[in-house]
Amino acid sequence: MAGIEKICEFSDQYPGWEMYGYKRNGIQIMPEFRKLFRGADATLVIVSAEVHQVSFMSKRGYCYSSPCKYQLAEDFDFNVSDYVEYHEYMGKHFKIDYKYALVVKDKALQGTVGGRYTNWSMNLSTVMRKMKRMVGPNLRIVNEAGSRAQILSNWRKQFIKDAREYQAQEEREAA
């Protein structure tokens, strides 16, 4: 569905490309409706997190590239720390992409999404600050993704596991 990312999830209005600026590190609603959320019964849920390798950053955003399982297995002997250090030296940084949802229980604020406004960001502290400013001090925050250290630890374990599976598959195909 083209254009769905540019429609206000509260009012179903179409502000066009301006929505990209409105929803940055926030939720996909137009600024004139944000004041309605003040004092609402709401919870900010950090749903999940993924680690991405960022090749370069520009004014328009990030360019992602997938971490290479082959390179981890062959060139770095499954040493993720050396792999990350090398790529950061080469200008490729690792960022955590958080997916979050503002869950609103007030009937008047359900919008077109049934009270669950979802988005993603690489800057979780800015998201929390903007949501607290919009909703107020009674905003509850639930982090289901875990801490930054847990996310990176789980990513490292999974990356090594994937690299080992890749290497085993290559050995099976070579035999």
DSSP assignment string, the chain: -TTGGGS-TTT----GGGHHHHSTTS-SS-HHHHGGGTT--EEEEEEEEEEEEEEEEETTEEEEE---HHHHHHTSTT-HHHHHHHHHHTT-EEEEEEEEEEEE--GGG-GGGTTEEEEEES-HHHHHHHHHHHH-TT-EEEESS--HHHHHHHHHHHHHHHHHHHHHHHHHHH-
In this prediction, residue 77 carries a pLDDT of 83
Q: Give the pLDDT score at 83.
A: 85
Looking at the 3D structure of the chain, how many domains does it have? 1
- Write out the residue range of the structural domain in which residue 140 sits: 4-174
pLDDT value for 1: 43
Residues of the chain where predicted confidence (pLDDT) is lower than 50: 1
Give the model's pLDDT for residue 171.
86
Dump pLDDT digits (tens) for 56-89.
665 556 666 667 777 877 788 888 888 888 888 8
121/157 Cα distance (integer angstroms): 23
pLDDT of amino acid 20 = 87
pTM (two decimals): 0.84
> How much of the chain exceeds pLDDT 90, in percent?
52
